[in-house]
Structure 1
Amino acid sequence: MHTLNQEVLDIVAANADANRETRQVAKESVQALKDCGFYRMMLPKQWGGLEHTPQAFFADQIALAEADMSTAWISGIIAVHAFQLAVMDEAAARDVYGDDPNTLVSSSYNPVGAKVAISDDGFMLSGRWGWSSGSEHCSWALLGGIVHG
């Protein structure tokens, strides 16, 4: 079962040149992918996801790349975070997807200059993280940090 349809692929393809010129994926493309459920493909059903197989996700990812590689790049990265959150403590998925299964999540695992302090409630991170493909479209971020000791 695929989430993409020709209408969505046409929107993505129509924005490809502008994406290259602005060096940013069009909001219209991201919204079309959100509306068709692409970003929920790997999200478990309990959080409002479609819970597709990785094979179905990869097939749609290939079709998306044929329409526009830049959109496929950021969208694949964003969409796979639903799978990552699904294998974390349930509280993480509830925090991110509890109110909105269409929440988009970016990531930056390169903790340049970041500090991690251990607290009673977990970890406190501070510092700066480098680029994160597609982050301008996301309301959450998974961040990397190094814990010593």
Structure 2
Amino acid sequence: MSTHEPVVTQHILDLIASKSEAQREARQMSKEVVDALKECGFFTMLLPKQWGGLERKPQEFFAEQVRIAEADMSTAWAGGIIAVHAFQLALMSEEAQREVYENDPNTLISSSYNPVGARAEMCEGGFMLHGRWGWSSGSAHCTWAL
């Protein structure tokens, strides 16, 4: 039995359930659902406190995902994929974390771990990436990619 304080309220779970069919037809989460998950802190559960996150235990994050899945599995899938990137970025340099989160702890990140023909070239200010990256669940709502 979990003893953590939930971040996703029943009101948000009801919203997710009510949007389930429309989201399935659109093949993505609605802006309204994403905004509600941002506002309650779901996407920042694994984000370190120094960047404005809740820095909760992974078990608490997974418990919230289960609650969301009971309302709509697709939202739990896509939302979880987006949210776990805060944990992944926390394993990177402080400079990388600062660049992403310093101005907005609610920055959403997507990923595609199967690039085709990808290569990176050094250029002024960083790198230029070339290649094709496959779909990443939730990417329509993200401003960064790993």
TM-score by length of 1: 0.90
1:119 shift after superposition = 6.5
CA distance in 2, matches of 1:120, 1:30: 35
Which residue is 1:90 aligned to? 94
Deviations 1:91-147 (CA, angstroms, capped at 9, x unpaired): 1110110000001000011111211235697654222211111000001000xxxxx
CA distance, structure 2, for counterparts of residue 24 and residue 79 of structure 1: 15
How far the C-alpha of 1:7 sits from its partner, in A, is 0.7
Alignment equivalent of 2:34, drawn from 30, 40, 44: 30
> Mean Cα displacement is larger for which, 17-26 or 94-103?
17-26
Percent of residue pairs identical: 65
Paired position in structure 1 for 2:54: 50
1:80 aligned to 77, 84, 92, which one? 84
Aligned partner of residue 15 in structure 1, secondary structure? helix
Q: Does 1:99 align with 2:103?
A: yes
- Specify the SS of the correspondent of 1:101: coil
Computed over aligned residues only, the root mean square deviation of the Cα atoms, in angstroms, reads 1.5
Q: State the match for 1:4 in structure 2.
A: 8
Match of 1:14 in 2: 18
Matched with 2:120 is: 116
Output the TM-score relative to the length of structure 2.
0.92
Partner of 1:147: none
| Structure 2 unmatched ranges of 5 or more | none
Distance 2:136 2:117 in 1: 16
Cα 1:139–1:120 shift into 2, 3 Å: closer
